[in-house]
Amino acid sequence: MTWEKLPPIPDAEGFAGAFAGVSNGALIVAGGANIAGEKWGETFTKQWHDSAFVLEKPGGKWRGGFTLPRALGYGVSVTTERGVVCIGGSDSQRHHAECFLLEWHGGRIATTALPALPNPCANMCGALAGSVIYVAGGIEKPDAIEALKTFWKLDLAAVEPRWESPDPWPGPERMFAVAGVVGDSFFIFSGAKLHAGADGKPVREYLRDAYRFTPGKGWTRLADMPRAAVAAPSPALKAGGSRLLIVSGDDGTKVDFQPVREHPGFPRDVLAYDVARDEWSSAGEVPFSRGTVPVVRWLGRDVIPNGEVRPRLRTPEVWTVRERPMK
C-alpha cells in the first residue's frame, strides 16, 4: 500500500472525531474537536467545532466557510448515494441522538434532517453495508461509567426508513470500536469497556475480541485480535476483497505514560484480518500514528482526514492510500 498526503485541512490544530464523507464527488470533513492553546497542564480546554471543509479534487484546495447545524463530533459518518449521513455525536455539554444528511451542490452544503437514533450516543462505530447503516456501541452521556451494548440499523431502501434494534453482539459492551464491512456483513473489532475507578471516574478495559453480523445468520465471534486497537480509523480499510486492515489505534500499553507531552504516539502497525480464513496477520506499518478519525472511500482511495496523533494532540494532515496492484 502506498500512502500519500493530500492538502491539509486549513486549520492550525486539526480535528479529532470529525464527520467525513463524499457528496457529488467532493470530500467533506466537518465538525470534530481539538485542544487549542495550552495542552499539557493538569487542566486544558477541549473545544468542539461546527466548521466544514470541502475538497473537490485530490490536487485542489480546501474550501471553507461552511458550517454544521451545531458544533458536533465523535459520531458516525457514512457516505451514501444521497450524500454524507451524520449520526449522533457529542458537544461540550451532552450527547445527541439527531441524524442529518450533508449534500454538496451549487457551491454550498445543504443539511437535511433524518430519523434520530433511539437514544443519544457518541464514541460509537458504524458503517454502510448495502443499503443498511449499522451503528454499534458508544456511550450515552459524557460522564458515563458504562459503555453501551446497543446495535442499531437503518435501511435506507425502506419506504419509510427508521432505526431498528437487532440483537447485539455476544460480547461485552464497548465504545470506540472499529467497524468493518464485507458484502452484507458488518464487523466489530476491539473497543473499550468502561467501569468506575476508585475516584468514580471511568476507567477503560481494552478489548481484543471481534464479531461478524450477517443478516439472516446473526452474530459470529471471530478470532481475537493480536492487540487492542481502540479508536483506530474506522471503518477498517478493505484490501483485495477478502481482507480488512486496521491501522494504528490505541493498544492501551501507554495509557498512563508520563509526561503526557512526550507520549510517543499510538502504534503504527497494520493488523490484517482474513475474512475467509478467520486469521490475523501483520501488514507492515503506516507513516503516522492516528486515532478517533473516520475512513472515507473517495475516488478509488481510502482517506484518513486529521485525527488524534497522541493524547491531546490533533493534526490537520490528510492521508490517503491506494492498494498497489498485485503482480
DSSP per-residue codes, 178-195: EEEEETTEEEEE--EEEE
CA 215 from centroid of its chain's CA atoms? 23
The residue range of the domain holding 43 is 2-322
In a domain, 64, yes or no: yes
Residue 241's pLDDT is what? 75
Average pLDDT, the chain: 96
In a domain, 151, yes or no: yes
Predicted confidence (pLDDT) per residue in 277-308, tens digit: 999 999 999 999 999 999 999 999 999 999 99
Q: What is the pairing mode between strands 202-206 and 210-214?
A: unpaired
Domain count, the chain: 1
Query: pLDDT band for position 327 (50/70/90)?
Result: very low
In a domain, 81, yes or no: yes
Residue 307's pLDDT is what? 98
List 58's β-bridge partners, or say none.
none
In a domain, 327, yes or no: no
Q: What is the mean pLDDT of residues 67-73?
A: 97
Rg (CA), the chain: 18
Residue 58's pLDDT is what? 94
In a domain, 239, yes or no: yes
Q: Residue 314 belongs to a domain with what CATH number?
A: 2.120.10.80
Q: What is the mean pLDDT of residues 52-70?
A: 96
| C-alpha distances out from residue 31 to 20, 67, 93, 171, 194, Å | 9, 8, 15, 31, 26
Burial-class residue 5 by CB neighbours within 10 Å (0-12, 13-18, 19+): exposed
Q: What is the mean pLDDT of residues 53-70?
A: 96
Q: How far apart are CA 51 and CA 29, in angstroms?
A: 9
In a domain, 143, yes or no: yes
Residue 326 has pLDDT above 50, yes or no: no
